[in-house]
Amino acid sequence: MDKAVEQALNEQINAELYSAYLYLSISAWFSSIGMKGMAAWELVQAQEERDHAMMLYNYLLSSGGKMIATEIKAPQTEWGSPKEAFEFQLAHEKGVTASINRLIEISQSAKDHASIARLQWFITEQVEEEENVRDVLNQITLAADFPSYLYMIDKELGTRVYTPPTGNGA
């Protein structure tokens, strides 16, 4: 495996584990303010991000690369409101999208077609990740003038069920 691709994959594994840790932190914050549905929604997010890290880990090892574990930075633990938390999350997901795009560019430079093919799943996944957060953020924004709607949104988000990834990325 090309060393630049290997390094970038390791960095992405760390980024995905950080995302899982961040969403666990957001979940704990939502729980602390009594938004149990939003807390549950974020737990599903955390589980998905952990799976993304493991998918990259498995790919890295199966391709002859070496996994180098590095420190995962501590995530933020407080937000001013549910809207602020979801705005923060959307900005974070946009950063993850940029990171995946950079990883593909490195793979293209190395002419690593196997990595490019595997990473296409992550591109599609990031479109979905951003859309999901944006949808929740839009609902919360629309509920600003009707605080009782936030309760309904919280209840709806609590119905989210974890679905393991399938297809090329699994």
Convert the pLDDT of each residue in 91-141 to its tens digit: 999 999 999 999 999 999 999 999 999 999 999 999 999 999 999 999 999
Is a pLDDT exceeding 60 seen at residue 169? no
CATH code for position 61 = 1.20.1260.10
Could you list the residue range(s) of the whole structural domain that residue 43 is in? 3-165
Model confidence band, residue 170 (pLDDT cutoffs 50, 70, 90): low
Note whether residue 170 is domain-resident: no
Note whether residue 123 is domain-resident: yes
Tell me the C-alpha to C-alpha distance, in Å, between residue 127 and each of 76, 93, 111. 24, 9, 24
| pLDDT on residue 3 | 97
Note whether residue 146 is domain-resident: yes
Report the predicted TM-score, pTM, of the whole model to 2 decimal places. Answer: 0.94
Note whether residue 98 is domain-resident: yes
User: Could you give the number of structural domains in the chain?
Assistant: 1
Note whether residue 112 is domain-resident: yes
* Range 18-36 average pLDDT: 98
